[in-house]
Structure 1
Amino acid sequence: MLSSLEADRRIILELNAQIEPIELHLAGLRSKRATVQARLDAYKYPVSKIPHEIISEIFLQFLPTYPLCPELAGWYSPTVLTHICSQWRQIALSTPQLWRAINSSGYAVGEIHIINDWLGRCGSCPLSLEIRPAENERKGLLGVLDSQCAHIEHLKIVGSPIVLTLLDSAMPGLRHLHLDLWAGSRSIKLTMAPLLRTAVLVDAACTVVQLPWGQLTALALRFGSPKEFCSILRQAPNLVHCALELKAYYNDEVVRPEVNLPLLRSLVLKSPPQNVDSKMIRSLVAPALRILKVSEQCITTLDQNPLQPLSSFISKSTCKLDELCIIYPYNEKAPYVPLERYQLEFSSIPSISANCGHHFDENIFDE
């Protein structure tokens, strides 16, 4: 028994002898590590020296320019900025402007929850909302947005008749409204929007929506007839910019009396290729007009004097155009009236150009 204890003591001594140099080596490594770590800790990365206000501004540049809306989820969502580090997460969450433009497309998982979070983060910032929700989320979305009407500055609604009940509330901050409505949508009368200045109405919205037309300075109407458009334009004498796109088929006569738009400076008038009909341009008088972008079939006739509708419009309006852009039908091999003839007959207009295409131009709001 005693001999075995003595043997164990010798083993302990041997192990201690082996451990001692290892511990000395570890101590040296730890000291070296501490020295290196101290150097790293002493270095301040340039990005960490940037004031939070500058980082917030950089984050804002990551997003589409307001009032355009980023994605709710994915690589182009401001939520990505909260996944980089804890410091940047706090900066992102404390920057209300990052969360003020919301696109409800119905594609993001848990969309209602995400929108509710964003509304909480944006505080009292003016809101830009684009709403085309999935059918199963419309009522839930309405419940979330109903309390935000006072903050809505830009509003776009596509389809959903349920969400239209938002327009029954006062919207004291609303400046721009875009409505693209289905046939059969209920009538809407928006009267409590004192700051509303620009609007886009598409399809059924041209006939079921009543706005404070006299306030508007820019208006775009799509897929209506001359009669429908003129009934609106007659109530909007303060328009400075206007864009109109006629629907494919209608049986309207020339509207009488003509619609006088005394302040109008730019007009976009488009029509499907199959419509060779100048009723719309013949229904307007615009003495202050400077820019006209128009589909060829809206200003020509099929008789011996094809440019008579355009000549008549310019003459009766007594306007002095600075720019005339002829939009030729995109599916035609050759224009009905060559550009050279426009340039010859309207030589007093400084800029006469041509464009082939069918995309609707809503850039009137940027002019």
Structure 2
Amino acid sequence: MPESIPELEALVGKLSADIELQKDVLKQLERSKSAAQRQLNATRDPLTCLPLEISSEIFFQCLPPGPLHPRPGARTPPLLLLNICNSWTDIALYTPALWSSIYLDFPGVQVLQSWLERARNHALTISLTRSLNRNIGAIVARYAEQLKHLEIYDDDLKLGSLIAIGSFPCLETLTIGCLPDDEEDLNDFSLAQILGLLKCLAPNLVECTFHNISTYFDHTTLEVLMLPRLRYLKFGEPTDLRTLDSVEILPYLTLPALETLFLPMIGVANQVLLTFLERSSAPLQKLVLAGNDSTFVELEDCLRLASSLESLELYTNRITVVHDLLAALANSPTNLLPNIRCLKIQQFPTLDVPSYPIILRLLTLRRTQIVSFTLRGSSRKFGKLSQLKPSSEVRDGLRQLAAGGMEIYIGSEGQNLMSF
């Protein structure tokens, strides 16, 4: 055993060198173990043995179905897929479709930035809820040419800042408004702002939805705006008459390609709709009217202009309008809505059944074209619904139509009086 200071220093130096050597050996063993573990995981995981296009498609099927967009979260895909193993991380990062859609409900600038970078050149769908600010807007503007679908819900939305983002030449669908729980606090915009948004932001728009948007005229000189590709236009939810949006914008739009229109008629003159239909000459296929407070005579001119209609939905508390509409359709099987296939009438607040013989006559005369007929009351509290049932003769006639394939629903939200 060394006793002198030099000998002890030499021994300490040698032991230190041996320790460092063993540390290097240990690190090498750990790296070898990790590599072997990855190889073992890859051997055990059949997903990593598949071609990239197949494994990518499997990952893509993990995303929420339908219109739901992925929300950033460590426990939900696609971010969840990054935390399983290195192989899965590689697959997820080499699958841009996984990152092409995002739902953001907080001002996560870095999250949105990294998310869209992973999407590369893929078409983008962005849904923002109470998260649009200047920094978020700058990121969205950076990907303007890739943006295909944009949805913004904010109870303090400033259209000026949105227009300042720039133009989105590939944008096909646009939804702006307040969330359902914000319905008492509508966004209030001038007509010039709305028209400027449509003209500057999305010249090639195909679908547009305004929810809980109120408009006002600010005495600015306005020109009629033509959107040649717009096929779908919706204002509000027709099932809730309290939150229907204002549609003063309609006189300033020409939509020659329009196929579907959801329109609140509260405070809107039929002449406005009539003039719009005449000006656009659109191949309208579906029309949803809510809260009509005019007579059927005023509405009839509009319906005659929309001869291409295949689907008509009417949400109203005017019982006389319902009666007159059904009678006119029964008496004019070829002149009024000759192409109608689906007819739905939602009454507020109760159910009032017109003459059953008129309904039977209407459906019999148009049995080769009408595939679905609905006359529904919004309330479930109708008392004795059995008193509203038709006579046995009418019931037999409706039963024959149903046996031929026609869907017939007359009743409350929870009970169909035509349950054969």
TM-score, with structure 2 as normaliser: 0.61
Q: What is the aligned partner in structure 2 of residue 32 from structure 1?
A: none
Give the AA of the match of 2:206.
R
The correspondence of residues 272-291 of structure 1 with structure 2, limited to 5 A, is: 272=291, 278=296, 282-284=301-303, 285-291=305-311
The correspondence of residues 15-94 of structure 1 with structure 2, limited to 5 A, is: 45-65=45-65, 68-73=68-73, 75-94=75-94
Residue 175 of structure 1 contacts residue 196 of structure 1 at CA under 8 Å; is this kept in 2?
yes
User: Which whole-Å deviations, capped at 9, do the CAs of 1:8-50 have from their partners, x for residues lacking one?
Assistant: xxxxxxxxxxxxxxxxxxxxxxxxxxxxx9xx79965533321
The correspondence of residues 118-197 of structure 1 with structure 2, limited to 5 A, is: 118-134=115-131, 138-159=133-154, 160-162=156-158, 165-168=161-164, 169-180=166-177, 182-185=186-189, 187-188=193-194, 189=196, 190-192=198-200, 193-197=202-206
> Which is further off, 119-128 or 291-300?
291-300
User: Which whole-Å deviations, capped at 9, do the CAs of 1:54-94 have from their partners, x for residues lacking one?
Assistant: 11111111113576411122543410111111110111112
Q: What is the aligned partner in structure 2 of residue 266 from structure 1?
A: 285
Q: What is the aligned partner in structure 2 of residue 218 from structure 1?
A: 232
| Structure showing greater relative contact order (alpha-carbon pairs closer than 8 Å, 6 or more residues apart) | 1
- Taking the aligned partners of 1:42 and 1:67, their CA distance within structure 2 comes to 34
- Taking the aligned partners of 2:231 and 2:144, their CA distance within structure 1 comes to 22
- Taking the aligned partners of 2:321 and 2:78, their CA distance within structure 1 comes to 52
The correspondence of residues 246-257 of structure 1 with structure 2, limited to 5 A, is: 246=265, 249-250=266-267, 252=269, 254-255=271-272, 257=275
Distance 1:85 1:153, change over 3 A: same
Structure 1: any 5+ residue segments left out of the alignment?
1-36, 359-367
How far apart are residue 120 of structure 1 and its match? 1.5
2:345 to 288, 304, 327: 327
How far apart are residue 325 of structure 1 and its match? 2.3
Alpha-carbon RMSD across the aligned residues, in angstroms, is 3.8
Q: What is the aligned partner in structure 2 of residue 5 from structure 1?
A: none
Residue 301 of structure 1 contacts residue 309 of structure 1 at CA under 8 Å; is this kept in 2?
no
Residue 105 of structure 2 contacts residue 129 of structure 2 at CA under 8 Å; is this kept in 1?
yes
Residue 271 of structure 1 contacts residue 297 of structure 1 at CA under 8 Å; is this kept in 2?
no
Residue 139 of structure 1 contacts residue 162 of structure 1 at CA under 8 Å; is this kept in 2?
no
Q: What is the aligned partner in structure 1 of residue 213 from structure 2?
A: 204
Give the AA of the match of 2:82.
T
Distance 1:220 1:119, change over 3 A: same
- Taking the aligned partners of 2:356 and 2:174, their CA distance within structure 1 comes to 36
Q: What is the aligned partner in structure 2 of residue 241 from structure 1?
A: 260
Q: What is the aligned partner in structure 2 of residue 116 from structure 1?
A: 113
Residue 203 of structure 2 contacts residue 227 of structure 2 at CA under 8 Å; is this kept in 1?
no
Give the AA of the match of 2:147.
I
> Which is further off, 291-300 or 345-354?
291-300
SS of residue matched to 1:70:
coil
How far apart are residue 316 of structure 1 and its match? 10
How far apart are residue 287 of structure 1 and its match? 2.1
TM-score, with structure 1 as normaliser: 0.69
Residue 295 of structure 1 contacts residue 327 of structure 1 at CA under 8 Å; is this kept in 2?
yes
Residue 180 of structure 1 contacts residue 202 of structure 1 at CA under 8 Å; is this kept in 2?
yes
Alignment size in residue pairs: 307
Q: What is the aligned partner in structure 1 of residue 313 from structure 2?
A: 293
Distance 1:94 1:253, change over 3 A: closer
Residue 329 of structure 2 contacts residue 337 of structure 2 at CA under 8 Å; is this kept in 1?
no
Residue 177 of structure 1 contacts residue 198 of structure 1 at CA under 8 Å; is this kept in 2?
yes
Residue 179 of structure 1 contacts residue 205 of structure 1 at CA under 8 Å; is this kept in 2?
no
Quote the sequence identity (%).
21
SS of residue matched to 2:177:
strand
Structure 2: any 5+ residue segments left out of the alignment?
1-36, 179-185, 237-243, 379-420
The correspondence of residues 221-232 of structure 1 with structure 2, limited to 5 A, is: 221-222=235-236, 223-224=244-245, 228=248, 230-231=250-251
Residue 269 of structure 1 contacts residue 298 of structure 1 at CA under 8 Å; is this kept in 2?
no
User: Which whole-Å deviations, capped at 9, do the CAs of 1:290-317 have from their partners, x for residues lacking one?
Assistant: 2223235478438xx6337854997897
How far apart are residue 101 of structure 1 and its match? 0.9
Q: Which has the larger radius of gyration?
A: 1
